[in-house]
């Protein structure tokens, strides 16, 4: 493989996979034929044109769906983000209980079970057929309710996770599925929300990086909105749902999502309303998604 061919193939990844399958080889042949003799790498002009063209094609993908369908997928992703954060909280709680030998151990075992059934429901919503999603979510709801009754938990446990799992089931009934390239945000949520529990110690070496991560994620979804506004809407939806633990007595502050626990007016507290406003603005952008 020559230098120009290798470079053009890399640049063609700016286009969606389906577009590369249909037209990738044709475009590559045209580019190699037009390339000046002796050039070892694509020119800046060709590189910029390919990247811009790929963004235009990716931005136009959402136009195949109605605004209602795009909003359903965005809200579905927001609910999945929120539930992933709850699963991460429970995993971290179970891990800390096991590491420090805190008693009674059964409560930390219950936390691990809650985390696993929530993650199973989110995974089903991302990959499984609709009947499987409904069955897994129903099992998860039953398990969480039984644990709540057994442990005399907050009303929040009955009005939070079970209700959102039911919403997840309803939203997943649509024909369209969430794009796979969104799923990296779920991984970020799971990893950061788990690590945040270990930031109690000031000397924790990732404390500074994790405390600044809200800005990184917010900037990422804003830039991403050039191609796809729906993840930004999902982050706003996830942020808005952080008020549920407060009004149901299950928490004392609001979490922005992505592990950013905060009280009103402290730390990154202003990011919560900012993310909600962002979701509203990006909802309007869905109608003009192909305009760069």
* pLDDT per position as a tens digit, 233-252: 888 888 877 666 555 555 43
- The band of 53, judged by pLDDT with boundaries at 50, 70 and 90, is confident
Verify that 259 and 135 share a domain, yes or no. Answer: yes
Rounded (10°) CA dihedral 55, 60, 62, 64: -150
* pLDDT per position as a tens digit, 180-210: 878 888 988 888 878 777 665 544 555 555 6
Verify that 156 and 47 share a domain, yes or no. Answer: no
Cα separation values, 141 from 43, 67, 135, 218, 237, Å: 56, 30, 10, 31, 21
Whether residue 253 has pLDDT greater than 50: no
Measured between alpha carbons, how far is 62 from 226 in angstroms, rounded to an integer?
Answer: 12
What is the end-to-end Cα distance of the chain in Å, rounded?
33
Verify that 18 and 112 share a domain, yes or no. Answer: no
> H-helix or E-strand containing 202?
none
Residue 262 main-chain phi, psi, to 5 deg = -160, 155
Verify that 263 and 193 share a domain, yes or no. Answer: yes
Verify that 26 and 109 share a domain, yes or no. Answer: no
* pLDDT per position as a tens digit, 87-110: 988 888 888 888 777 767 788 888
Between residues 140 and 244, the one the model is more confident about: 140
Domains contained in the chain, number? 2
- Name the residue among 220, 213, 212 with its Cα closest to residue 278: 220
Q: What residues pair up with 255 in beta bridges, in sequence order?
A: 261
* pLDDT per position as a tens digit, 25-49: 888 888 888 777 767 778 888 888 8
Verify that 16 and 72 share a domain, yes or no. Answer: no
Verify that 268 and 227 share a domain, yes or no. Answer: yes
Is 282 within 8 Å of 229 (Cβ atoms)?
yes
Verify that 28 and 164 share a domain, yes or no. Answer: no
CA 231, 114, 272 angle in degrees (round to 5)?
35
Verify that 83 and 161 share a domain, yes or no. Answer: yes
Verify that 187 and 256 share a domain, yes or no. Answer: yes
Measured between alpha carbons, how far is 154 from 123 in angstroms, rounded to an integer?
Answer: 26
Verify that 126 and 263 share a domain, yes or no. Answer: yes
Verify that 93 and 179 share a domain, yes or no. Answer: yes
Mean pLDDT of the chain: 77
Instruction: Write the DSSP string, 9-72.
Output: HHHGGGS-HHHHHHHHHHHHHHHHHHSPTT--S--HHHHHHHHHHHHHHHHHGGGGS-HHHHHH
pLDDT > 70 in the chain, percent: 75
Whole-prediction pTM: 0.75
Say what angle helices 230-240 and 67-100 make with each other, to 10 degrees.
50
Taking 3-state DSSP, the helix, strand and coil percentages for the chain, each rounded to the nearest 5, stand at 75, 0, 25
What's the domain range around 220? 65-288
Of 9-13, 19-23, 113-117, 228-232, the range with the highest mean pLDDT is 113-117
């Amino acid at each position: 493989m020559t230098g120009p061919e290798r470079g053009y193939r890399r640049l063609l990844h700016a286009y969606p996979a389906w577009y590369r399958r249909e037209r990738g080889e044709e475009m590559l042949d045209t580019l190699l034929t037009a390339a000046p003799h002796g050039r070892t790498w694509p020119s800046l002009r060709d590189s910029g044109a390919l990247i811009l063209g790929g963004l235009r094609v990716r931005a136009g993908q959402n136009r195949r769906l109605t605004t209602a369908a795009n909003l359903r997928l965005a809200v579905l992703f927001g609910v999945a983000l929120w539930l992933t954060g709850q699963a991460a909280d429970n995993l971290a709680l179970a891990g800390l209980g096991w590491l420090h030998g805190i008693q009674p151990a059964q409560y930390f075992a219950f936390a691990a079970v809650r985390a696993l059934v929530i993650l199973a429901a989110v995974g089903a919503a991302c990959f499984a057929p609709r009947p499987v999603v409904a069955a897994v979510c129903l099992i998860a709801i039953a398990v969480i309710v039984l644990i709540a009754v057994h442990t005399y938990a907050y009303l929040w446990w009955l009005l939070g996770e079970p209700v959102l799992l039911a919403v997840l089931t309803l939203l997943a009934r649509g024909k369209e599925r969430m794009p796979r390239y969104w799923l990296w945000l779920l991984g970020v949520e799971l990893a950061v929300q788990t690590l945040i529990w270990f930031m109690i110690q000031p000397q924790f070496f990732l404390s500074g990086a994790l405390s600044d991560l809200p800005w990184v994620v917010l900037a990422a979804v804003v830039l991403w909105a050039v191609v796809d506004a729906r993840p930004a809407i999902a982050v706003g939806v996830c942020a808005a749902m952080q008020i549920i633990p407060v009004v149901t007595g299950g928490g004392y502050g609001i979490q922005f999502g992505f592990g950013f626990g905060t009280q009103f007016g402290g730390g990154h507290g202003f990011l919560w309303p900012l993310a909600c406003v962002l979701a509203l603005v990006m909802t309007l952008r869905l109608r003009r998604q192909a305009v760069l």
